[in-house]
């Protein structure tokens, strides 16, 4: 069974009504988180910037699920869905999933770890990557 199949079987992705409007609202929320990330970067709050940049990516990625009629109970499974349904069909570059997965792990380390100290360069890069993810996914939602 594929990783996506396991996510569905375990109830980590559940069917719901499709909603383009809700998907578009999720993109708006992603953009709002990107603004928050920029504010944190300017304020020199780099860990918060990383967390906000990941939230921007998360809400963008979530928009695809909402559009397709799924809700998530796992950040990991969102990426598996997008990989299986969009990347493998050539509708989205694999680099987008790599970015999302990398920042999902970094977000976990930043939020829960005791060793990770974010630096300005990491925070600035996270903002750039969040913008890339949002732009790529927004095209699929509209």
- Count of domains observed in the chain: 1
The predicted structure's pLDDT at residue 26:
97
Using CA atoms, how far apart are residues 128 and 136, in angstroms rounded to an integer? 13
What is the tens place of the pLDDT at every residue in 48-71? 999 999 999 999 999 999 999 999
The predicted structure's pLDDT at residue 111:
84
The predicted structure's pLDDT at residue 126:
97
Domain housing 131: 3-8+17-141
The predicted structure's pLDDT at residue 57:
98
The tokens describing 19, both together, are 């909603």
CATH number at residue 129: 1.20.120.330
What is the tens place of the pLDDT at every residue in 108-136? 888 888 876 788 999 999 999 999 999 99
CA 78 → CA 28, 42, 55, 74, 87, distances in Å? 18, 30, 13, 7, 13
Rounded to two decimals, what is the model's pTM?
A: 0.93
Query: Looking at residues 98-103, what average pLDDT do you find?
Result: 95
Using CA atoms, how far apart are residues 74 and 91, in angstroms rounded to an integer? 22
Using CA atoms, how far apart are residues 117 and 2, in angstroms rounded to an integer? 35
């Amino acid at each position: 069974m594929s990783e996506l199949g396991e996510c569905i079987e375990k109830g980590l992705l559940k069917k719901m009504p499709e909603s383009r409007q809700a998907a578009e609202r999720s993109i708006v929320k992603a953009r709002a988180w990107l603004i928050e990330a920029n504010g944190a970067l300017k304020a020199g709050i780099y860990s918060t910037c990383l967390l906000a940049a990941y939230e921007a990516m998360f809400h963008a990625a979530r928009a695809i699920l909402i559009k397709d009629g799924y809700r998530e109970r796992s950040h990991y499974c969102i990426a598996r869905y997008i990989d299986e349904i969009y990347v493998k069909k050539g509708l989205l570059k694999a680099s987008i999933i790599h970015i999302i997965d990398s920042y999902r792990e970094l977000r976990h380390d930043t939020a829960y770890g005791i060793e990770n100290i974010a630096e300005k360069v990491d925070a600035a890069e996270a903002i750039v990557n969040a913008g890339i993810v949002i732009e790529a996914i927004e095209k699929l939602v509209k």
